[in-house]
Amino acid sequence: MTQPILELKNIHSGYGSIKALKGVSIRVMPGEVVAIIGANGAGKSTTLMTICGIIAAEQGEVWYDGRMINKVSPEKLPTLGLCQVPEGRRIFPRLSVEENLILGAFYRNDTEAIAKDIQHAYEMFPILGERCNQEGGTLSGGEQQMLAIARALMTKPKVLLLDEPSLGLAPIIVQQIFDIIERINKEDGTTILLVEQNANLALQAAARGYVMETGEISLEDDADALLNNPKIREAYLGE
């Protein structure tokens, strides 16, 4: 039986006295796109930061690719194939597009393959190729989001964690971003855990989904079932 490539088991974490996650359990199978939806403040981003060790789990276990990673330092995780695109993009604004991509490959030493992967990024994101020498901070919000995703792909991830990729972007750009997410999953076989307030787009992109409310998982189901659930449609799809 196939084992989850990423699994959270009864995770509790938070910020000092504020308990943001209260017993969260999530499974992600190899090759899946899994969405976590929920209102602002539900604990979605905290879940990703706990997976990456930026926020320590006070209780419970985080398992990735057959090993418990609670004690693995965040900077080591990309070398294991687990990479996050954080909310707010956090590119290096004074470095060029290409320099941002090169830094994404910081832990790699396969120079020829890095060069090929940069060209693949430009093929996937043509606007980045056109602006390869432009400072990242001068790009539009959508272009910066593309750069953040492309930079993460330079780590050659097995699992990509995406935190609110549509945040603050125009609808036409949001659709482009989600088309790229689908392509990354289908062409490269990359497993994706997607945190997103746009529940409709997230569930359309995903195979399965989790609904998070006040730090707990309130519902888990196939994405299509969640899309057709009247309570979900009323609470998160504006119907």
Q: Which CATH number is correct for 1-81+157-239, 3.40.50.720, 2.30.30.230, 1.10.1450.10, 3.40.50.300?
A: 3.40.50.300
Helix, strand, coil tally for the chain in percent (to 5): 40, 25, 35
CB 189 within 8 A of CB 156: no
Residues with Cβ within 8 Å of residue 229, at least 6 apart in sequence: 219, 221
Q: Helix (H, G, I), strand (E, B), or coil: what is residue 147?
A: helix
- Domain positions in the chain are 1-81+157-239, 82-156
Reported in sequence order, the residue ranges of 146-204 that DSSP labels E, i.e. its strands, are 159-163, 191-195
Q: What is the pLDDT, as a whole number, of residue 195?
A: 95
* Tens of pLDDT, residues 174-193: 999 999 999 999 988 999 99
Q: Average pLDDT for residues 111-116, to the nearest whole number?
A: 93
Kindly report whether the global pTM for this prediction surpasses the value 0.85.
yes
For the cut 90, the answer to whether the pLDDT of residue 54 exceeds it is yes
Q: Helix (H, G, I), strand (E, B), or coil: what is residue 12?
A: strand
